[in-house]
Amino acid sequence: MNRTTLSLAAAVTALAAVTGYGALTAPADGGGTATAAEAPARLPVERSSLLCPAPSNSQVAETVYTSFTPAGGPPGSGATAGEAAGRAELKPSAATGDVTTADPRKANAPKRAAVADKPVLALTQPGRPVTAEADGGDAPALVGAASGRLAPGWTTQQTTKVPAGGGRGMLGLSCTPPDTDFWFPGASTVQQRADYVHLTNPDDTATVVDIELYGPGGVLKTQLNEGITVPARSGVPVLLSTLTSAPAAEDLTVHVTTRSGRVGAVVRSADEKLGSDWLPASADPAGSLVMPGIPADATSVRLVAYAPGEDDADLRIQLASPTGTITPAAAESLHVKSGMTAAVDLKDVTRGEAGSLLLTPARKGRATPVVAALRVVRGKGDDQEVAFIPATGPVGERATVADNRAEGTTLSLTAPGGSAEVKVTASAGTEGGTPVTKTYKVPSGTTLAVPPPVPAGLKGSYALTVRSVSGGPVHAARTLAEADDGLPMFTVQTFADDRGTVEVPSAEQDLTVLDD
């Protein structure tokens, strides 16, 4: 899956800017002799897009949106945040409607956004997050774009608290860039769960989306003969249990692809007993995967994996703990048949210590690509809450998660390959505060779970930006926890490389091609 937030238009614009700079100079020797190509320059992206799904259908839901762009420009670009003007804003989609009928190609009567052109929130400067709130179950999906200095690294967090009802819990999501291909291991169609895949179309033309479901026995027959049409600049939630007449499956993998255009896609899962949260897409299929940020007090961890290729996958399961990598007693390995979903209950695998799950090939030289995710539960009895951790890539040069609070925030850093060093910057607060930066060293094969730095004089919430300094790759996650009348509400968001720069080759116009 292509995770880059840089659109083709942005790449062409950046290339045109560099080409234009050297387009008026002919070769110095006048003879048209080719010279050695210069190394590509790294330039900040000029435009990025984000999509936030409709947050909830509960009338008691309370949603906070937090938008942020890191200050100082992207690493390695040589650019600063003050070089170009810009703006980032999120607007309501034109319409939202449920697909829960016998004919899943047709959405129920959509709810029109009252003021579709008015931004829900707008960011005008890097380095300081801004917030907006929405109450009740009528908040629509949001379509957003950032330009200029606000485009590189732009992120938006959507955090919803539902204190009661079937969808109760804390639901957190880093709003996603549009794409064409998504994998969601960890979904379900059992009776006690209501799982919706939310589709948001950012473009001015309709797009057609295909949804495939894979259970332990392979692909499930669905009613999607012609796909689902998502109208222009609209959001459509699709109830998974209405897509198939096959028996309910506890563990499913959902595959979302577009026939044309692009969408944002994410699954919202609501469990009558365990609460609700968002299930983001897994990282691209790979032979080795990392799921960072399992809370220390997790009472249940369930691993769900799927092998999309033609070969079966034999996976070694390990836990990167604070002191090193160990093999869980509950399960040492997992066999995933081609085209089928496999799951294993890891129970309380962390045993009081925060950790991250590592999947690697059971045999060297036999790496079969898979996708995977964890369902994590905290609490016991009637006081349980659920969250999902998809496999995620390393933070790369820079990654950010917004909406962190002075209390209840935990940062997890995992170095699966070799020891690493990262810098973590706590931004200014939404209502005040001074940024703070702290350096962390993460030993090889371990997970470091710490309360993150907090801005001096913090008022409101803030953003955390992780930058790689040296060593091997680092995978990161943020846990946001809040107790509510004995219910241990929480949500986990992974950090993804913000891809704030793009390589643009140097160019020089050769006027000799005009000679006879």
For the stretch 84-123, pLDDT in tens is 678 999 999 975 556 554 344 444 434 444 445 789 999 9
What pLDDT score does 515 carry? 56
Question: At residue 253, what is the residue type?
Answer: T
Residue 209 · residue 250 · CB < 8 Å: no
In this structure, of 274-278, 410-414, 457-461, 481-485, the range with the lowest mean pLDDT score is 481-485
Predicted confidence (pLDDT) at residue 388 exceeds the cutoff of 70: yes
pLDDT digits (tens, 9 = 90+) for 436-495: 999 999 999 999 999 999 999 999 999 999 999 999 999 999 999 999 888 999 999 999
Interatomic CA distance for residues 389 and 292, integer angstroms: 7
pLDDT given for residue 209 in this prediction = 96
Q: Whole-number mean pLDDT of the chain?
A: 87
DSSP string, 386-428: EEEEE-----TTEEEEEEE-SSSEEEEEEESSS-EEEEEEE--
What are the chain's domains?
44-279 (2.60.290.11), 289-390 (2.60.290)
3-state secondary structure of 456: strand
User: What digits encode the pLDDT tens for the residues 444-456?
Assistant: 999 999 999 999 9
pTM given for the model: 0.88
Closest to 497 in 3D by CA, of 174, 250, 148:
174
Whether residue 162 is predicted with pLDDT greater than 90 in this model: the reply is yes
CA distances from 425 to 248, 322, 454 (A): 45, 22, 9
- The angle at the Cα of 81, spanning 79 to 85, to the nearest 5 degrees, equals 110
